[in-house]
Amino acid sequence: MNVLVINCGSSSLKYQLINSDTEEVLAKGLCERIGIDGRLVYQKAGCDKEVTEAAMPTHKEAIQMVLDALTNDKTGAIESLKEIDAVGHRVVHGGEKFASSVVIDDEVIKAVEECNDLAPLHNPANLIGINVCKELMPGVPMEAVFDTAFHQTMPAKDYLYGLPIEYYEKYKVRRYGFHGTSHSFVSKRTVEFLGLDPENSKVIVCHLGNGSSISAVLNGKCIDTTMGLTPLEGVVMGTRSGNIDPAIMEFIAKKENLDIAGIMNVLNKKSGLQGLSNLSSDFRDLENAAKSGNKNAENAIEVLCYGIAKFVGGYVAALNGVDAITFTAGIGENAATVREKVVGYLGYLGITLDEEANGKRGEEIVISTPDSKVKVCVIPTNEELAICRETVALVK
């Protein structure tokens, strides 16, 4: 069957049409600047990208353009919308209501709406995507795949913060975790790839991209992850600070005359690698700058790698051991330096790096030496394929 995977943001929308039998991507692309001016990028498998500038006042016009492109006489990947058998929607926050993917009905839409204040930038946009697809493709089954669902197996000792318990009881303030689709996909694939026993496996996944999070997965179930109520918690990211002393917020607010919104803007958009380097949030820029002697870029890389190693150490304790540590996402898959530096902190686990393997890119690979006590590997993530698989499992 053909599954359309939709990842709808506030002013952009990513899509892929996947044949779930062959897992081949038939077409993919994105709509950008929705509500501003509008730009559609469309790429059929084996063909060049097509870019069309066209007015997209709302998500409805954007999704209509995607459907028109997919069914276009000349360059379409399918002949008609009848060939789309299901739509899988990425939904960022499922709160405590969703511990797995679900078929979308009116009750699900209401429950997702109720999670809006936990993810005010993302959930409303996800809902718009769902409602527009329902309108434009009536009768086609729609599924919601949540970023938070995989982490719902975390125990209370992990997800509760040291705050007055009434904030959890009244407002559900707790750790939720994100990137769940990727952590689920990559941890499962690690177990398969290494031939581990799924019922007796301890895996740590380092998803390192613009947003980064680490998770501890015991026998296929998440027991801890670094992101929290929001994606701001955890390791240093592209522009997000990750963990800081919360009192810094008041200190800086007074010094810089900022209100809470101003402080949140600094922590989400001006911190992390961008803030530390005062140069760029993009890891490649930092790597180049560090090579030419830029001290701030060098420090930013060190802060990132040391922070990752400390979380990994904590998760070895949480899991009471570890079988495999896996790197994934833009930095995890491509930045050999980061893997080398992180693994450099883990010698106490009996790990040594296979430098030649660590230099390779674009494939599933073990990067620890054969005599290492713990396997370290790189597994490329594929969130769209994971959403497609979840969708198919629900439709069948």
Show which residues are catalytic.
147
Which CB sits closer to ligand ADP, 101 or 334?
Answer: 334
| Stretch near ligand ADP under the rule CB under 6 A, chosen from 16-24, 153-161, 277-285, 310-318 | 277-285
Q: How far is C-alpha 184 from the geometric centre of its chain's CA atoms?
A: 11
| Stretch near ligand ADP under the rule CB under 6 A, chosen from 83-91, 280-288, 349-357, 364-372 | 280-288
Among residues 75, 88, 8, 65, the alpha carbon closest in space to that of 45 is found at 75
Q: Minimum distance from CB of 281 to ligand ADP (Å)?
A: 7
DSSP 96-115: TT-SS-EE--HHHHHHHHHT
Q: Minimum distance from CB of 304 to ligand ADP (Å)?
A: 10
Among residues 190, 155, 194, 195, the alpha carbon closest in space to that of 175 is found at 155
Decide: is 380 part of the binding site for ligand ADP (CB under 6 A): no
Return the amino acid letter for 158: D
Kindly state the tokens that stand for 32: 């950008």
| Stretch near ligand ADP under the rule CB under 6 A, chosen from 92-100, 144-152, 160-168, 278-286 | 278-286
| Stretch near ligand ADP under the rule CB under 6 A, chosen from 12-20, 47-55, 77-85, 282-290 | 282-290
A 10 A CB-CB count for 378 gives: 24
Burial 134-143 (b: 16+ CB within 10 A, else e): eeebeebbbb
Q: Minimum distance from CB of 181 to ligand ADP (Å)?
A: 12
Q: Minimum distance from CB of 11 to ligand ADP (Å)?
A: 15
Cα–Cα distance, 107 to 122 (Å, whole number): 19
Footprint of ligand ADP on residues 73-132 (CB under 6 A)?
none
Q: What are phi and psi of 18, to 5 degrees?
A: -120, 135
By Cβ distance, which residue is nearest to ligand ADP?
330
Which CB sits closer to ligand ADP, 76 or 242?
Answer: 242
DSSP letter assigned to residue 156: H
Q: Minimum distance from CB of 75 to ligand ADP (Å)?
A: 26
Footprint of ligand ADP on residues 286-345 (CB under 6 A)?
287, 329-331, 334-335
Q: How far is C-alpha 161 from the geometric centre of its chain's CA atoms?
A: 23
282, 298, 340, 354: which one contacts ligand ADP (CB under 6 A)? 282
With beta carbons less than 8 A apart as the criterion, state whether 395 and 105 touch: no
Q: Give CA angle at 184 (180, 188), nearest 5°.
A: 170
Question: Which residues are at the interface with ligand ADP (CB under 6 A)?
Answer: 209-211, 238, 282-284, 287, 329-331, 334-335
